[in-house]
């Protein structure tokens, strides 16, 4: 009996030691990921500051970077990648969105993904040179089917926008060919008003895989004749194939991209960037 008792104690000790070891490894891994997230945030801020954005044909246009990230995201499904979402606004309305991210494994890479949200052409400069010139509007605003008028108060309008954002179904097919159904983040990334009298209210929502944003949805209350009407615009934030349906009707489709840099298109990626020094 004593021998069996001692064997049991030994096995329990080994099991407990293994559990402690796994906890220690996990704690180290969590600390490492937190450090990576903090490093990526600071690198992203420095990279975002390097881009000057203006409307095509205007040298004095004020499209300004919002200094803080509106979303810190990560994707640790078979990899370690951290990123941040930055926006540039004009008169309060977002005109450009960028996801600046860093791979830590299985490879090392630093990149910046952009999509125009402007209703006209843009010019994006870096180090005094035009590096990206989307020549078409970044989004097309489409009226919702419903005849719901924008509410009188801001809290009521936010509730309306959340409900409208929930009415989409977003499917992504990544490079591995596996389809995923995206998840809506219930809180908007950015809520905005504008000095533009044509725009009463607006919000930017995202559909994500993990917390990685793959589709941007702008919902805006815009002037239509003598009243305001809810409209939406969609922007990809992924190189895979994306399909969006609304009320069982397909309203948006993107094809898988074989090349990532698109000089004149509304979406592009600058890959292989050098991490900007502190």
Q: Is the pLDDT of residue 23 over 60?
A: no
CB 51 within 8 A of CB 64: no
Global confidence as pTM: 0.86
β-strand partners of 274: none
pLDDT tier at 222, thresholds 50, 70, 90? very high
Give the C-alpha separation, 43 to 40, whole Å.
5
* Edge-to-edge strand list for the sheet holding 129-132: 51-55, 122-126, 129-132
pLDDT mean across residues, the chain: 89
Please tell me which residue, 203 or 174, carries the higher pLDDT value.
203
DSSP one-letter string for 81-117: EEEEEEEEEETTEEEEEEEEEEEEESS-EEEEEEEE-
Please compute the mean of the pLDDT values over residues 216-243 and round it to a whole number.
95
pLDDT at 2 over 50: no
pLDDT in tens, 53-106: 999 977 667 899 999 999 999 988 768 999 999 999 999 999 999 999 999 988
CB-based burial of residue 25 (10 Å sphere; 0-12 exposed, 13-18 middle, 19+ buried)?
exposed
| pLDDT given for residue 14 in this prediction | 53
Distance separating alpha carbons of residues 112 and 95, to the nearest angstrom: 16
What pLDDT is stored for residue 188 in this prediction? 96
Tokens of 172: 């992504």
Q: Which of the 8 DSSP states describes residue 260?
A: -
């Amino acid at each position: 009996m004593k021998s069996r008792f001692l064997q049991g104690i030994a096995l329990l000790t080994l099991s407990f030691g293994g559990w402690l070891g796994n906890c220690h490894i996990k704690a180290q891994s969590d600390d490492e990921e937190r450090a990576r997230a903090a490093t990526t945030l600071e690198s992203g801020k420095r990279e975002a500051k390097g881009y000057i954005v203006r409307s095509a044909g205007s040298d004095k246009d004020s499209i300004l970077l919002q200094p803080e990230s509106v979303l810190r995201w990560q994707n640790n499904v078979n990899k370690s990648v951290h990123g941040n979402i930055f926006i540039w606004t004009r008169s309060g309305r977002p005109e450009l969105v960028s996801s600046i991210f860093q791979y830590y494994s299985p490879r090392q890479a630093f990149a910046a993904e952009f999509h125009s949200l402007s209703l006209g052409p843009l010019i994006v400069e870096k180090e005094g040179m035009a590096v990206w010139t989307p020549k078409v509007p970044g989004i097309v605003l489409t009226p919702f089917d419903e005849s719901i008028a924008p509410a009188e108060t801001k809290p009521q309008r936010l509730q309306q926008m959340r409900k409208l954002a929930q009415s989409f179904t977003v499917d992504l097919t990544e490079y591995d060919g596996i389809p995923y159904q995206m998840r809506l983040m219930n809180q908007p990334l950015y809520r905005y008003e504008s000095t533009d009298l044509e725009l009463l209210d607006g919000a930017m929502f995202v559909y994500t895989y993990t917390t990685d944003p793959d589709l941007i949805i702008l919902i805006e209350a815009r002037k239509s004749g003598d009243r305001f009407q809810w409209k939406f615009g969609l922007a990809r934030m992924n190189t895979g194939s994306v399909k969006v349906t609304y009320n069982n009707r397909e309203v948006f489709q993107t094809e898988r991209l074989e090349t990532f840099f698109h000089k004149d298109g509304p979406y592009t990626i600058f890959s292989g960037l050098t991490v900007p020094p502190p």
